Structure 1
Amino acid sequence: MARLAAGLALLLPGAAAALEEPIPLPSGLVADFQELRIETREGQGALARFRFVAQNLGETAPDLDVLSADMDFLCDQVALPSIPVEYPDPGQIVISIGAAPTEFGVSRPDILQVFESYRIEEDRCMWEAF
Structure 2
Amino acid sequence: MMRLAAGIALIAAPAVAQELTAPSGLKLNLYDVIIEDDAALARFRFEVPEIADNGLPFADVADDLQALCNQTLLPGLQQSGWDEGQIVVQLSAEKVDFGATVPDITQYFQPFSIDGDACIWEDF
TM class, shorter-length:
0.7 to 0.9
Q: Give the number of equivalent residue pairs.
A: 124
RMSD: 2.4
Written as runs of structure 1 = structure 2, the 5 A alignment for 1:35-114 is 35-41=32-38, 46-58=40-52, 60-83=54-77, 87-114=81-108
Give the TM-score of the pair, scaled to structure 2: 0.83
Partner of 1:4: 3
Give the TM-score of the pair, scaled to structure 1: 0.80
Note the residue ranges of structure 1 that are not aligned, 5 or more in a row: none
- Secondary structure of the 2:51 match is coil
- Secondary structure of the 1:33 match is strand
Note the residue ranges of structure 2 that are not aligned, 5 or more in a row: none
Counterpart amino acid of 1:119?
S
CA distance in 2, matches of 1:84, 1:29: 25
Written as runs of structure 1 = structure 2, the 5 A alignment for 1:5-44 is 5=4, 8-9=7-8, 11=10, 14=13, 18-41=15-38
In 2, are the aligned partners of 1:118 and 1:125 still within 8 Å (CA)? yes
CA offset at residue 11 of structure 1?
2.0
